[in-house]
């Protein structure tokens, strides 16, 4: 399971929890403007927007999980098993493979509006990257400072949904997740009023009772509701430090602790949490065992170069001893 979030204070922040039981040796990868992007069924991009995000690099190609471009557009792929349905090539249309989708969008477009317009012509084609990296069933959130959309290639075709919540998890499809939020409109950050039986002296005996009924389990639909509640009610100062702290707290509300979700012989955990300041191109992350925030600033690299730059994740716990 995974959760992605878009959040704006003074700047815009975009990131996700990557919840999984295995790692694909992901690193923070900066793709500079002149890195030659090849696409299997559509024209190459020899020059494009620079990109920073987390990716597995295979055969010199950055297989991005989530990333942001220098124009402030962010995009993340989240698991969508049983629902994702990729298609055969569409003659005359723009055929993009799922593993190329993040570079194709972030390399070309500066805003959600621009990306959305181009998507009208796109088919996500069923071409795997390699035998080692077969097709992944994914859906995507694309966000900028002003709005978010969700892109799902399903049986009926490519669906693009407006996403006013700025949150995405996994199954079921986004329109169903969004509909279920209707069930939670009575939840509040304020103490509840006794509307059940006003004549009976019922007590608000604890803080937080206005949100009783908010799910706390780790299923995808429950994480969606929990993250929406936390994200829409979030209050943060406008500084970088206050903003990223708040962002990691939003993701923390739906993080996975080892032992709580069994997968086969192991357990799913939040392998990393990320928060990118899309205005400044700084990608911050924590890992399951490293709660210290680590940052990579894309603008400290030569963005006119041709080669990828990779930063291995700092995985070990960084304890700051006080005596
Ligand atoms: C599984 C990951 C999403 C995390 C998630 O949503 N977990 C929930 C699991 S579940 O719903 O509860 O089953 C996705 C996100 C990005 C994916 C990776 C990226 O798409 C990049 C390549 C793409 C290749 O086709 C496959 C390997 C891969 C390296 C992908 C492996 C895997 O599918 C990743 C890591």
235-286 confidence digits (pLDDT tens): 999 999 999 999 999 999 999 999 999 999 999 999 999 999 999 999 999 9
77-88 confidence digits (pLDDT tens): 999 999 999 999
Lowest mean pLDDT among 18-27, 96-105, 298-307: 18-27
Residue 40 has pLDDT above 90, yes or no: yes
Residue 108 has pLDDT above 80, yes or no: yes
Structure tokens at 65: 């999980």
Residue-level pLDDT at 67 = 98
CA dihedral of residues 109, 115, 117, 119 (deg, nearest 10): 120
Question: Mapping DSSP to helix (H, G, I), strand (E, B) and coil, where does residue 267 land?
Answer: strand
User: Distance between CA 250 and CA 148 in Å, rounded?
Assistant: 17
Residue 100 has pLDDT above 80, yes or no: yes
* Mean pLDDT to the nearest integer, 65-90: 98
* Mean pLDDT to the nearest integer, 60-85: 98
User: Distance between CA 56 and CA 17 in Å, rounded?
Assistant: 16
Question: Mapping DSSP to helix (H, G, I), strand (E, B) and coil, where does residue 255 land?
Answer: coil
Mutation pick for ligand 1 pocket among 1, 3, 5, 20 (CB with most ligand atoms within 8 Å): 20
Kindly give the distance from the C-alpha atom of residue 18 to the centroid of ligand 1, in angstroms, as a whole number: 9
* Mean pLDDT to the nearest integer, 36-55: 97
Confidence label for 23 from pLDDT (cuts 50, 70 and 90): confident
Residue 1 has pLDDT above 70, yes or no: no
User: Distance between CA 70 and CA 73 in Å, rounded?
Assistant: 7
Cα–Cα separations (whole angstroms), residue 245 to 75, 82, 166, 211, 274: 21, 35, 18, 23, 11
Which of 300, 312, 322 lies closest to 70 in space, CA to CA?
Answer: 300
Read off the DSSP letter of residue 276: E
Whether residue 51 contacts residue 31, with contact meaning beta carbons closer than 8 Å, is answered with yes
Give the H or E element holding residue 138.
strand 138-143
**pLDDT more than 70, % of the chain:** 100
The distance from CA 24 to its chain's CA centroid, rounded to whole angstroms, is 17
Structure tokens at 313: 């994740």
The distance from CA 299 to its chain's CA centroid, rounded to whole angstroms, is 22
Q: Is 267 in the pocket of ligand 1 (CB under 6 A)?
A: no
Domain 2-183+229-312 has CATH 3.60.60.10: yes
Q: Is 56 in the pocket of ligand 1 (CB under 6 A)?
A: yes
The Cβ of residue 128 has, within 10 Å, a number of other Cβ atoms equal to 15
* Mean pLDDT to the nearest integer, 317-323: 95
165-201 confidence digits (pLDDT tens): 999 999 999 999 999 999 999 999 999 999 999 999 9
Which of 223, 233, 248 lies closest to 13 in space, CA to CA?
Answer: 248
| Atom from ligand 1 closest to the CA of residue 170 | 11
Whether residue 97 contacts residue 36, with contact meaning beta carbons closer than 8 Å, is answered with no
Whether residue 3 contacts residue 17, with contact meaning beta carbons closer than 8 Å, is answered with yes
Q: Is 63 in the pocket of ligand 1 (CB under 6 A)?
A: yes
Residue-level pLDDT at 229 = 98
Residue-level pLDDT at 220 = 98
Kindly give the distance from the C-alpha atom of residue 300 to the centroid of ligand 1, in angstroms, as a whole number: 29
Give the H or E element holding residue 171.
none
Tell me which residue has its CA closest to atom 18 in ligand 1.
65
Catalytic residue numbers read: 2
Task: Return the domain boundaries, the chain.
Answer: 2-183+229-312
């Amino acid at each position: 399971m995974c959760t992605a979030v878009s959040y704006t204070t003074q700047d815009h922040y975009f990131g996700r929890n990557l919840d999984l039981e295995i790692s694909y040796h992901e690193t923070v990868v900066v793709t500079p403007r002149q890195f030659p992007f090849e696409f299997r069924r559509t024209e190459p991009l020899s020059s494009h927007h620079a990109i920073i995000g987390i990716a597995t690099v295979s055969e010199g190609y950055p297989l991005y999980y989530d990333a942001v471009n220098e124009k402030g557009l962010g995009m993340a792929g989240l698991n969508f098993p049983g629902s994702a349905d990729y298609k055969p090539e569409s003659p005359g249309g723009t055929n993009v493979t799922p593993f190329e989708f993040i570079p194709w969008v972030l390399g070309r477009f500066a805003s959600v509006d621009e990306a959305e317009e181009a998507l009208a012509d796109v088919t996500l084609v069923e071409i795997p990257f390699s035998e080692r990296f077969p097709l992944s069933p994914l859906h995507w959130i694309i966000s900028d400072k002003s709005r978010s959309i969700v892109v799902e290639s399903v049986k009926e075709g490519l669906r693009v949904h407006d996403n006013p919540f700025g949150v995405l998890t996994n199954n079921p499809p986004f329109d169903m997740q969004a509909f279920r939020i209707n069930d939670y409109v009575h939840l509040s950050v304020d103490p509840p009023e006794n509307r059940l039986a006003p004549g009976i002296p019922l007590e608000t005996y604890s803080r937080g009772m206005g949100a009783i009924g908010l799910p706390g389990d780790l299923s995808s639909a429950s994480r969606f509701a929990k993250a929406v509640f936390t994200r829409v009610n979030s209050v943060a100062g406008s500084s970088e430090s206050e903003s990223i702290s708040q962002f990691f707290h939003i993701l923390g509300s739906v993080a996975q602790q080892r032992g709580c979700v069994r997968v086969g012989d192991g357990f799913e955990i939040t392998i990393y949490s990320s928060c990118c300041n899309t205005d400044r191109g700084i990608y911050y992350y924590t890992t399951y065992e490293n709660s210290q925030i680590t940052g990579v600033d894309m603008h400290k690299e030569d963005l006119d170069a041709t080669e990828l730059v990779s930063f291995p994740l700092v995985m070990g716990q960084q304890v700051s001893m006080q005596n």
